[in-house]
Amino acid sequence: MIDLFDKHQPIAERIARAEAMGVTIGVTNERMISPTRAIINGRETILAGTNNYMGITFDAECIAAGKAAMADFGTGTTGSRIANGTYALHQELEEELARFLNRRHCIVFTTGYQANLGMMSGLAGPRDTIFLDADSHSSIYDGCTLSGAKLVRFRHNDAADLDKRLARSEGEEGGRLVVLEGIYSMLGDRAPLADFIEVKKKHGFQLLADEAHSFGVLGPHGRGLADEAGVEDEIDFVVGTFSKSVGAIGGFGAGNHPQFEILRYAMRPYMFTASSSPASIATSLAAVKKLAAEPWRRERLRENSARLFSGFRGLGLDMGCDEVSPVIAVKCPDEVSAVRMWNALLAAGVYVNIAVPPGTPNKLCLLRCSVSAAHTDADIDRIIELFGEVVAAGHGKKVVNG
């Protein structure tokens, strides 16, 4: 008999190698002190890798809304949206989000992962083709697989490459969906939307933007990269998550298509899972209202991101991209040095993400920071100081001839 676990041996060996270096995969937050502080390994630690962009997770009004919803509607819905799991709260959140996004329709999902699974598989079917950016998040890849569509991968952020691949499949039956992200989660770079829209005008396809890391963050209204770039009319479908700027859990898909609502009956990740708990929906609703009413949060996040970015640049660190966003990644020469530096940073009191292949593009090993509006100047300066001591002094410094 072949043990089904045999195939996981390479992963087990990789974990064992990390543990031999004194690293456990992931951390345990023993206690949360604030959106930007936790007790990890018994020590107070600055959190700089939690995607808590707005620092809204401990907002008094959001917490009160969640408590009230739990008291009024119970702990869970015990059902799917298409059975007994639709409460007035879910519909209220969908209406509020549609208003915020300036879209006619919005559907809420239980997680952000399911939002991508649902939207990809609801929009595209076996006769269609999905063209996806090479650096797309796993939830996009998984949603594409679930759809049964033909899947064509184009080079990251390369509109000319998409153009070439569209031309190769010209004349085939079925619809065509192109999938991009607003801010890419690993390197923090943005999709060049204007270039892609030129290709859209040439070939004709439907365009979906996953604004997971940019919803609530970018644009004059906080609607994401398309809002920032002023091209929302060209984006047919928007996907987003509540687990970042909204500080809860869940996700959404939105659009203006007159048939959009039919997706509720065509998306298995929407139909065959329990709907979000009342408390989670109510905190999301309160947070979305805050994102609309309190643009100072976006401004503060921009200032904090710029402060960290210029601090790292001053240290000569080799960064993931040249544009400031709340995702700021530092490249490391290899996995072993990345693990060492990540360990040293954590021991000194700052938590960032360690990201290694295949979770990263181009075989990169990264120390990835995500900035919060709740970080103080002193927090940002401490992170810069520690990266100076640990990373710049180590191996993370940019190689001029590299």
Partner 1 sequence: MSDTIARICKVLEPFNSNGAILAPHTDISTDLNIDSVTVMDFVMEVEDHFDVELPLNVLAEIRTVAELAATVEARTRKAQP
Among 39, 40, 152, 344, binds partner 1 (CB under 8 A): 152
What is the rounded CA–CA span in Å between residue 138 and residue 26?
Answer: 18
Q: How far is CA 261 from CA 185, 190, 253, 255, 279, in A?
A: 29, 29, 11, 10, 25
For the CB of residue 211, give the shortest distance to partner 1 in the complex, in Å: 23
Among 86, 169, 256, 343, binds partner 1 (CB under 8 A): 169
Instruction: Provide CB contacts within 8 A for 261, sequence distance 6+.
Output: 105, 107
For the CB of residue 151, give the shortest distance to partner 1 in the complex, in Å: 4
Q: How far is CA 293 from CA 216, 245, 289, in A?
A: 11, 14, 6
Taking Cα atoms as reference points, which of 231, 188, 241, 172 lies closest to residue 207?
231
What is the rounded CA–CA span in Å between residue 94 and residue 111?
Answer: 14
333 binding partner 1? (CB under 8 A): no
Strand order, beta sheet including 365-370: 327-332, 365-370, 353-355
Choices 57-65, 144-152, 204-212, 292-300; region in contact with partner 1 by CB under 8 A: 144-152
Among 230, 295, 314, 357, binds partner 1 (CB under 8 A): 357
Nearer to partner 1, 103 or 165 (CB): 165
175's tokens: 């619809």
For the CB of residue 168, give the shortest distance to partner 1 in the complex, in Å: 5
168 binding partner 1? (CB under 8 A): yes
145 binding partner 1? (CB under 8 A): yes
For the CB of residue 341, give the shortest distance to partner 1 in the complex, in Å: 22
155 binding partner 1? (CB under 8 A): yes
For the CB of residue 45, give the shortest distance to partner 1 in the complex, in Å: 31
33 binding partner 1? (CB under 8 A): no
150 binding partner 1? (CB under 8 A): yes
| Residues in 96-135 that interact with partner 1 by CB under 8 A | 129, 134
What is the rounded CA–CA span in Å between residue 51 and residue 237?
Answer: 23
For the CB of residue 334, give the shortest distance to partner 1 in the complex, in Å: 13
174 binding partner 1? (CB under 8 A): no
For the CB of residue 234, give the shortest distance to partner 1 in the complex, in Å: 25
151 binding partner 1? (CB under 8 A): yes
Choices 38-46, 47-55, 59-67, 149-157; region in contact with partner 1 by CB under 8 A: 149-157
What is the rounded CA–CA span in Å between residue 37 and residue 351?
Answer: 9
Taking Cα atoms as reference points, which of 51, 72, 31 lies closest to residue 279?
72
363 binding partner 1? (CB under 8 A): yes
192's tokens: 């060049």
Residue 311: count of CB within 10 angstroms of its CB: 18
Choices 161-169, 234-242, 248-256, 384-392; region in contact with partner 1 by CB under 8 A: 161-169
3-state helix, strand, coil in the chain (%, to 5): 45, 20, 40
Q: Give me the residues that bind partner 1 (CB under 8 A), please.
A: 129, 134, 144-145, 148-153, 155, 165, 168-169, 357-358, 361, 363
